[in-house]
Chains A and B, each alone.
Chain A
Amino acid sequence: MNEVSQFVQKYRQASWRVQLQWLVLFIAGLVVIAMVAGLRLSVSIRAVQAGREIQSFKGEILNNQRMNANLASQLAALTSTQAMEPRARALGFQPVDPAQITYVVVTGYTPQKDILLAPPRTQPAAAIILPEYTQSLFEWFIDLIQSNPPASGWQP
């Protein structure tokens, strides 16, 4: 028994070495924690910055939409019948008498169509984002199996 304790004592590390190992381990732990915290802080800061930028852009979009609406109204007021008719009369124009009109056939002429402010209703367009970017691993695996059916002899 005594021999055993002597053996253990002989190969036991010096206490300062053990303390140093613990210290290094502790500092390494601190560094890891600091790195994770720093990384998280950095990501958070970037997310917040991006969020604020998006908010700012959104505000800019709203502002531009408001300005567009305002300018469209101003343009419409400048080209309104109340504004244009006096200008036309001042320039010497007058409402045309039907008897003064000469009608001629112009080959290929397409008469003015009524307004189309947006494309007419159609079927929804195909998705632009490829499924690879949205499907889960499981869905991808199922797709893979379905697109490569097993060799003959298998029964579903």
Chain B
Amino acid sequence: MKNPHTWRYLTMQFLLAFFGFSLLAQIIRIQNSAEAKVILAESGKYEGREVIYYPSRGEIYDRRGHLLAGNQTVYEVGLDLNIMNDLDPSELPAFQNNIALTAQLYLGMTYNQAIDKMSNPPPNAVYIVLADYVPAEKADELIKLRDSMSSNPVGQNLNGMHFKEHLHRSYPEYSLASNVIGIVPPQDEQGHSGVEEKHNSLLAGTPIKIWVPSNPNQAQELLNLPAGANLILTILRELQAATEEILDAAVTDSGAEAGTVVVMDPKTGEILAMATSPRPNMNDYAHYGDTLSSEHPLNPAISKDYEPGSVFKIFTMAAALDKGVVKPEDTYWDHGIIIFGGVPIHNWNNTTWGQQDMTGCLQHSINTCLVWVASQLGNYNFYSYMQKFGIGHTTGIDLAGEAPGQLKLPGDELWHPVELGTNAFGQGLSATPIQMVMAASAIANDGRMVYPHVLYGSVQDGQQYNTSPMVIGSPISAATAHTLSEMLTISLEEEGSKALVPGYRLAGKTGTAQISPYGANDATNASFIGWGPVDDPKFMVYVWLEKPRTSIWGSEVAAPVFKQVVERLVVLLGIPPDNVRLQLAGQ
């Protein structure tokens, strides 16, 4: 029998199904509407947050593992504005007054600065930073103070003050090797100058941006952030300290404006010490720039070129000996003056030395003799050799801010024929101390010129990668290098130089370059370059004093600095006197 109410059931089923499908259609429509996309985007803000993780900056060590640059905990001190906003308006002045007084006492801010920060926070801010890079000692005191006052009434407590710790660069040796290391200023976290800038990417590591979800189910998405690479420098801390001490005293005693000493291993190019005076304390960033100017850059050893004067004569002589245009026993008759390129050139003290062999020319630093030697070489040969020595080009040392120096070549607009003569004794061109040391390494190292570097190695991912010594050219032959070294040794010994160190055979050359030939004063650059032991060189020392006053001569003020440095370094490097060394080698 047919149910008479079937049509009702069917109608109801149809209506319910239609309603169901309508709901489904509406859900799909809403899910795909433009508003839904906006809502989804808005809700995404609450699903988590994006955080940039910065790895801790790699440390810097000297070649014996002493820490030269590390990291230290500092604090960001901030204020929770919700606590301030919840206060009764009558309580606000007392609250702000208390915070401002505390900030003035502990955070190095003025009272008004603190009040201004609290009164004018950024729109919608719930937290403001009062001060950052607060030393741990100060922050610890402040935390104890806040905790002890927490139950006091408003205006007498520091509730709402927050402390967030993080690492910042610290230099446990203060100003030691500051010219080499460089600095990481607060608020920046990027290396500036020296190793800190040159190897910034290695030291800083790679910051990683990650999404931290609010969903605790996804809490396993954690970050394993490798720290920046640790660097080991070729610098020997004790030698650096001794060199700086000697240089500081020399600058003071001679009345010089500034001074630079570079100590390098001429066989490997490793910089063992690189001292400048004055130099800044890297932990005192507020006064970091006090000693610096365009005249006195952070590291003059690489970034300040100057006319080196007579120390440059060793390269002229090296070129002439190597080319075969002169021999050590060749003689030159000095009349105290030589006309070259139509210009009269005199000796440094306007004296006449008469007949001299090439060793005598170096010993007495006879300008006219070296002009004659350069003339024997000719323009092409002289400048070819100077370019082979790397003069006029950067050495590529692994420090930021190297200057190329200047070497005018025949054909250049500013080059004049007399330049060959003046260049022969180190005037009319400019070079940095590191260029001079690199070029001279060819003379000390059997004709092989080495790449100067300060990076001994780096430690990354648990492994140490050491820098290999690199020969970057052979401008002269080994025979020429030996001959010239012997000539320079004899010239020092016969001169009775103040650079001589008892027990050690050393080769060297002084230099005195007038800074302002047309000026009224006698300001000079006094220099000395030397190395030893001559038969097996272990060190090369370059000394440069800017505008010394007690004496303008390199032989008077720079040579003694060389001697003092060598006396300390032979002990620190364990180099016995020659007779002992040869005796021990024979055993």
Using CB atoms and an 8 Å cutoff, list the residues of chain A in contact with chain B: 44, 47-48, 50-52, 54-55, 58, 65-67, 69-70, 72-77, 79-82, 85, 95-99, 101, 103, 105, 111-112, 114-122
Contact = CB atoms under 8 A, between A and B. Distances in A.
A96 B463 contact: no
A51 B219 contact: yes
Contact of B241 (A44, A47, A81, A112): A81
Interface of B: 56, 59, 61-67, 70-73, 136, 165-167, 170, 172-174, 176, 216-220, 222-223, 227, 230, 232, 237-238, 241-242, 456, 459, 462-466, 501-503, 567-568, 570-571, 574, 576-577, 580, 584, 587
Nearest to A52: B219
B225 to A, nearest CB: 9
B65 A117 contact: yes
Contact of B587 (A101, A105, A120, A121): A105
Contacts of A69: 56, 59, 70-73, 167
A98 B222 contact: no
Contact of B170 (A55, A73, A117): A73
A80 B174 contact: yes
A49 to B, nearest CB: 9
B11 to A, nearest CB: 30
A116 B62 CA distance: 11
Contact of B64 (A73, A81, A112, A119): A112
B217 A48 contact: yes
A117 B217 contact: no
A99 B172 contact: no
Contact of B217 (A44, A70, A97): A44
B435 to A, nearest CB: 26
A142 B465 CA distance: 40
B217 A47 contact: yes
Given A55-B219, A77-B172, A81-B237, 19 more contacts: A54-B220, A66-B71, A70-B71, A70-B136, A73-B71, A75-B67, A79-B66, A80-B174, A80-B176, A81-B173, A81-B241, A98-B501, A101-B571, A111-B574, A114-B64, A114-B456, A115-B62, A118-B464, A120-B464
A98 B503 contact: yes
Given A47-B217, A55-B219, A80 B64 contact: no
Contacts of B222: 54-55, 58
Contacts of A117: 61, 65, 230, 232, 459, 464
Contacts of A97: 567
Contact of B70 (A55, A72, A99): A72
B67 A73 contact: yes
A92 B62 CA distance: 27
Contact of B238 (A76, A81, A120): A81
A81 B567 CA distance: 19
A73 B166 CA distance: 14
Contact of B465 (A75, A99, A115, A121): A121
Contacts of B466: 120
Given A76-B67, A118-B464, A120-B466, A51 B456 contact: no
